[in-house]
Structure 1
Amino acid sequence: MGNIVDYVRTDFRTFAEHPFSAVDSLVLSELSYIRLPLVVPVFGAARSIDTIALTGLLRAEDFPMMFAADSQQVNSTRLDLLVAVAESPRFRGLRVGEYIQRDDADREQQFAAMTFDLGDCTGIRGSFGPGGLLYVAFRGTDGTLLGWKEDFNMAFRCPVPSQESAAKYLSSILDRSAGVPGGDAPAVMVGGHSKGGNMAVYASVRMAARDLDAMQWLADESGESQLPMIEATSMAGRRTPDKQLRIGSADPGDAGNISRGVQDNQNLPTDSTTQHVQPAQRNRYAARIRRVFSHDGPGFPKRLESAAFDAVASRVDKTVPQSSVVGMLMDDGLPHRVIEADAVGIMQHLGMSWQVQDGEFVAAPGLSATAMFAGSTVNAWMLGIDPADRRKVIDELYVIFSTPGYRSFGELAEHWTTALPVIIDAARKTDRETRRLVAGVLAELPATAWRNLPQVPQLVIDSLR
């Protein structure tokens, strides 16, 4: 038993001998945290999917930039993972490209994505067909205040900018990988860790919505979607339970609603990795998405009640550790598997702590009592406070903790003695009603939310009184 680095270093089976699993998904999701160098093709620069061999990332001169976003220990472990994957016979042939990274303070967005091409890995084409397999990975939250601010924005807003960007990214990958008429399009899997898992689910639902014509694409002058929630607006997607669960079962009258006019009535591929994507099905967006992986990813402010969500739900593979807090936030009703981790408390959120045996995650009996308490406490707060107040609290906390000028929580912790007085002073300058609201929220949140700076809540609460 070990973690995913141990798995990659020791399990030499091909994908024909051991099919693609959730463990492989976590490996690729963890690699998506690496800040890729300029040698990697950028997103959208080519008409087709543009990638390079993963071994091309092993350039020591690029490592300081690639591994600078998190703690030294986390960065070191991710470098170990990259080297192990590059050396592994299982992943030999892996390619990566279509890289995008967007950090936009004005839009409060921290977004990154990349696409892995597994087509040249031994056993992949035998399982998925001549087109092979693409894995679209969305990066989770990094250690920056900006990244966590967007996470918290999910408490009152859907979609947030990164969810919109994820949908546009996945749409482009599906479009540009479709190939020529009569050819074999690659199958696609989508996934991510933490916020990346949430974006994988959201983007996949958006693709299913296109297939069902179940979403109104409303935009303001800037072109950004103004939908507060995904909702089915076409009765075509709501006729029968069978129709909701099998997005390929199109009625003749729906033909104009299917991408690029595909009008056949064939059922689309199931979750089986052995069923190949047929040419007639190749342009239906969600049809090519075999699995959606959410590794301890949060849910949504409310359940996405739509035929599109129902169509994707059966393909979502959600995994959470025993002490999951993040993955249990805003429960969206998706089933999940609880797995063993060798870290303590909220540190189990780190994917490198998840335990693997014989190529599969080690199952745990269930969530810990602490995790259930923390999740229920935060979710109860979410339900018990008005969305406008949620936004006010989150915005104010971001301002307070950003005042010292540090980009990340790691930098705050490193300079805590100088940062704390600035934070307290900023808290005292808020108006009385805001101080009351923020103090009440901090007092109710479980202690697990403050693992790095456990003294923060009481100090800030005292300054708000």
Structure 2
Amino acid sequence: MANLLDYLDWRGDLTLAQAPFNEVDNLILAEVSFVDFGGIVPPPGMGESVPLRTAAEAFFARFSQGEKIDMGVLVPDAIPEMLRKMAESRRFGDMGLNCFVDWLDAERGEQFAALAVETGDGRVYLSFRGTDDTLAGWKEDFDLSWLPEVPAQKKAAQYTAEVARQYPRRRLLLGGHSKGGNLAVYAGVYCPAAVQRRIDTVWSNDGPGFRDDFLDLPQHRRLGDRIVSIVPKSSVVGMLLEHEEDYTVVDSDQLGFLQHDGFSWQVMGDHFLTLRQVTRQAHLSDLELRAWVRTMTPEQRGKFVEAMFTVLSASGAATLTDLKADSFKAVGAMVRAMKDLDKETRDGLLKFMGLLFRSNLLLTLEGIQEESGKRGFRWGRKRHRPEEEEA
């Protein structure tokens, strides 16, 4: 099956004048904000846009020829190859990049990065980076479950207003993958009304949802029919918390949580291969995780999140790559930190980890069964095709 890289090979020679902007283009631009364009693309209000192919050339010049570019644990390693193909294409090579910001405060658990892309059809796509390799960025994802607003959301709304002022006559597209999808929706809802009227579409690519009261806001209702939520068939990340009622389910060639990787989403022509609904196990896992979160007050959720990241940070690691590189040392330090927690917090942390592990295991087993069924093997009963599965 085909993915984003295949799409660039197939359709990279078609400009937006020949083939209009589509949902696959959206995900590509959502992923490109994971590239570190610091010192290459100017911050808001600090200079002219840089052609994508020029920015890509400057980025790759930082590395030795043949050197593997490590994007970290959570960020797909295919992104540099995607950038290379974009730079070589007629479709993306001349797009202008501007307004790059990259903010990280590890002590306060804050991470925010974004990029503005002049698409060439008179619009600007605001790409919000999702969760990166840092523990700070990961912590902010969990803070979504109990805080009315996390710092990255506030920065996203401010960034949108600032970029809109820099491009006063342009229509806007907002998008991101993972946490970046959440930030795109939040920014679209909370940006000034005059800016919101200029937004054509907001894309949330497997982004986590929101607290209950967010979807009832009048600002959200005004924007609701322009929000496009896309999730893979076994989505867990994108189904967390409350979500827009309408979402598109896409097929993936990965299993379990690995379907969160946008490079696993299946492409057919100028669109994703879609299914009617998420798989049964993804739906059940989503319900179980939501039910568990709802048993806690916001204060209890906050205490839990702080405890979890105290444990993770006990190893001295700043990134998931650090944890992976010295996992033996990290586990020892985290076990010692767990002992310092009160019994209620420790039990809650263990239960949450158990839910995540079991959800991922069941989703993976379900995916293996589904893939084997496609190859003609029997599992004791006939399997429905994914598009026929019941929620």
TM class by shorter chain equals: 0.7 to 0.9
**CA distance in 1 between partners of 2:196 and 2:278 (Å):** 31
Alignment of 1:205-244 (within 5 A): 205-207=189-191, 210-211=192-193
Aligned residue number for residue 76 of structure 2: 74
Asked if residue 429 in structure 1 is aligned to residue 350 in structure 2, the reply is no
Gaps of 5+ in 2: 363-391
Match of 1:366 among 246, 270, 277: 277
Number of aligned residue pairs: 356
Give, in whole Å, the separation in 1 of the partners of 2:5 and 2:130: 19
| Mapped partners of 2:344, 2:93: distance in 1 | 59
What per-residue deviation string (whole Å, max 9, x for no partner) do you get for residues 227-253 of structure 1?
Answer: xxxxxxxxxxxxxxxxxxxxxxxxxxx
Secondary structure of the residue that 1:101 maps to in structure 2? Answer: strand
Q: Does the C-alpha gap of structure 1 residues 6 and 444 become closer, same or farther in structure 2, counting only changes over 3 Å? A: closer
1:79 to 1:444, Cα distance in 2 relative to 1, 3 A: closer
Q: Could you tell me the TM-score, scaled by structure 1's length?
A: 0.73
Please state whether the residue corresponding to 2:243 is helix, strand or coil.
coil
Query: Who is 1:378 aligned against?
Result: 289
Tell me which residue corresponds to 1:158. 148
Shift in Å at residue 349 of structure 1?
0.3
Opposite residue 5 of structure 2, the aligned amino acid is V
1:170 aligns with 2:154: no
Paired residue type of 2:76: V
* 72 and 351 in structure 1: CA distance in 2 versus 1, 3 angstrom threshold: closer
* Letter matched to residue 8 of structure 1: L
1:202 and 2:203 aligned: no
What is residue 231 of structure 2 aligned with on the other side?
A: 320
How far does residue 51 in structure 1 lie from its aligned partner after superposition?
1.2
Say yes or no: does 1:40 pair with 2:30: no
The aligned residue for residue 7 of structure 1 is 7
Structure 1 residue identity aligned to 2:256: G
Deviations 1:161-211 (A, max 9, x none): 000000000001111211xxxxxx11110000000000000001012xx32
- The 2-side partners of 1:327 and 1:42 are apart by 29
Calculate the TM-score normalised by the size of structure 2: 0.86
Matched with 1:287 is 197
Q: 2:211 aligns with which of 301, 309, 319?
A: 301
Residue 446 of structure 1: how far off its partner (Å): 4.7
Work out the CA distance in 2 between the residues paired with 1:382 and 1:66: 40
Aligned twin of 2:381: none
Segments of 5+ residues of structure 1 without an aligned counterpart are 125-131, 179-184, 212-283, 452-465
Distance across 1 between alignment mates of 2:253 and 2:188: 31
Equivalent-residue separation in structure 2 for 1:147 and 1:73 (angstroms): 12
Judging changes above 3 Å, is the alpha-carbon distance between structure 1 residues 29 and 449 closer, same or farther for their aligned structure 2 residues? same
1:46-70 deviations in whole A, cap 9, x for unaligned?
A: 5xxx310111121333248994442
Query: AA paired with 1:386?
Result: T
Alpha-carbon distance, 1:449 to partner: 5.6
- Retained in 2: the 8 A contact 1:109–1:150? yes
Q: Is the 8 A contact 2:106 2:318 kept in 1?
A: no
- Secondary structure of 1:430's aligned partner: coil
Aligned to 1:89: 90
Q: For residue 62 of structure 1, give the secondary structure of its aligned residue in structure 2.
A: coil
SS in 2 for 1:317: strand
Q: How do residues 53-202 of structure 1 correspond to structure 2 at under 5 angstroms?
A: 53-56=51-54, 57-59=56-58, 60-63=60-63, 67-71=69-73, 74-75=76-77, 77-119=78-120, 124=121, 132-178=122-168, 185-202=169-186
Q: Look up the equivalent residue of 2:201 and give its one-letter code.
A: R
State the distance in 1 between where 2:75 and 2:246 align: 32
Determine if the alignment matches structure 1 residue 414 to structure 2 residue 325.
yes
Provide runs of 4+ in structure 1 moved above 6 Å.
none
Q: Say whether 1:22 aligns with 2:12.
A: no
The 1:369/1:450 distance shift into structure 2, 3 A limit, reads: closer
Q: Deviations over 1:19-47 (max 9, x none)?
A: 1111101000111111114121122325x
RMSD: 2.1
Alpha-carbon shift at residue 435 of structure 1 (Å): 2.5
- The AA in structure 1 aligned to 2:303 is K
